[in-house]
Structure 1
Amino acid sequence: MSLPRQLRLESDFDQLPDDVAVSATIADIEETKGFIDYYRFAIEVKTKGGSKYLIYRRYKEFSNLHHDLQSKYSPEDPDKPRANCCILPTLPGKVYLGNKQEIAESRIPGLNTYMKRLLSLPTRVVLDHTLRLFFYQTEQDSQHRPRALRRLRPPTRKVKAPDVKPKMDLFSSPRAEVMFDFRGNDKLELSLKKGEVVFLLSRVNADWLEGTLNNQTGIFPGSFVNIIKSLPISESDRGESPYIGGYSCLHCFLLKPSGVDTRDVCVEEDVSIQPSYQDLLTRMRSVFKVEDIALNYRDPEGDLIRIIDDEDVLLMIQESRGHRRSVKRPVNQFLWELYVTMTLDLSVYNTEI
């Protein structure tokens, strides 16, 4: 039986209890020092019931889990009833040479794929005691101080200072209590100290919030705070339609002498996220498989304007907001569009004086 044919059917999903894990993603790695130094993976687990928590596992624990599942479900054992067998996903192999941190980092994509396929197996496997125990949040997991969870952080975020208010209303403003110290790594991140109250401005994505504290504004991981009063459901950090989860869509075009190649690029970010110039350039090179390209947008007059840095990206977004009412778009589609051209092709620009 091939792997795709044995994946769990949608009808089987209803049989699962609400506390069973249905997805897991590695959010970060962290070093544990002792008699033997090793790295653990910080894993964000989501359950069928919608809850979300962090667990911390070593590669050795992945290996032990895999061997246990193989002993129960591997079809290679001729004495095992075929009805109990299924083909398990491949666990990334051991690496014996190299820097421990680099080895741990290199394992992340493979382990993410492994967990995704593991949790898509038939219901009888997902409900296996050993598997459920692996994804269960132990008391040690729940008491562990989370770190920055950098892999859940939005790749870029232009923080805009909020409108000045004479005084924050302690009883009506969305706010949260800081549960763990957090030291921001750059100007975009807000440093927090346990016990402080941070006022919430917006939700950046499913894992990061934007807030203000001690006259400073920035973003911080939501796992570091306890929400006292949530943001309104309709809250939008830049005035656009609220983020509804899942993927947002970027409409983009590659302009070539032979014609126009149109693409809708899905990104796992809020439509209000402001990317950097370099992020956009790298993504477009990957999408269209062309290296020597330039990024552009259309101004209100319909002329192409070349983007060369982050300030141009900001200008593009500001202009798109200015005439958003005249263009109707889905709530999960960015208001701005990208026009990709060849770097040396200047014929696409309006050069009339």
Structure 2
Amino acid sequence: MAGYNCPSLPIRLVCGIFILASCLLVFLRLNHGYVPIHSVSYGEPQIEAPKLEKSPTKTASKALKILEPTAPLDRFDVALPSSAPPKLLARPDVPLVTYVYTESDYARTNLQFFVSHGLHAAADFVFIFNGPTNADEMIPLDKPNIKIVKRRNTCYDLGSHREVLNARKRGGKALRDIYQRFILMNASVRGPFVPHWSKECWTEAYLSKLNDRVKLVGSSIDCRGGGDQYVQSMIWATDTTGLNIMLTPAGIGECFRTLDDAIKGAIRTTPLLKSSGYHVDVMTTIFQSQRNYQFENCTQEGDMMYEGKYAGFSVHPFEVMFIKTNRNINPVMIDSLSRWIDQSGYSSYGVCGER
């Protein structure tokens, strides 16, 4: 048998170069268009490496895409490339507080008290300013969890809550779809009034009453002489289940055109939730005097949130945490407590923690 003659060294070298070139060509084709993104810390912009063009002149500044910081600038949206709309960030563990303000002397004082003592880092806050006002200048917008919305003075307080919670902006998600726990309130109440020895956060005091059976919590209930009892709407706490029921047209799901219509919306919301199989709860001690939420069917005459109308005396601010200031309820006590709390430097930041 004739012996096998191996290829010469030059031929083997050419073959090796050809194989390496082929592998490199395949690799480049598979990775065409791939742009690496480096990870960054909060606040540092991301820069995409520009895609190489055949002509170096086409690799211009427009080929560089500057992205927003990887951590959101605020707690309401997620930063995306500038060419795409920002998306809202789901925050199931953080409650949302919507606070409606319409200009008046008592509302301005109440807002200032709330800004001084009610804000904290464990919730997100949206202040809704209805109509002409400069009260928004009180709001500390340097905080990442605080936003303001300015709108025309329409729909009244409850209709304003509905509009803002339903608004679909910045990526198509509404605020009602992002959060799971909510507090809806307005500037007719002053608070939070919390004893100096208490370590309870006011938002959790309200929200902790929500459970599988209870879907609406407030400061007080109007018994209305029996029938159509309702949780008064100056402050409401609810969750996703409750809010979805409340925001239907059978509840507060409309832009109310008159004050009478807005009051009817507030009144019908409690029986709507009860007819859906749920209970309501409120802060007043008289409500807690009957077990298993039986006081939600109370028959007392009249609204108890007036001077001397709470079982023969006036409700104390420490009992409900937020109290009406446009009803002449023991004004000396409320003004004194407000002044003392201001002087004490009480802040919810010190008791509510962060989320």
| TM-score for both structures, normalised by structure 1 | 0.24
Give the structure, 1 or 2, with the largest relative contact order (CA under 8 Å, sep 6 or more): 2
More helix per residue? 2
More strand per residue? 1
Structure with higher Rg: it is: 2
| TM-score for both structures, normalised by structure 2 | 0.24
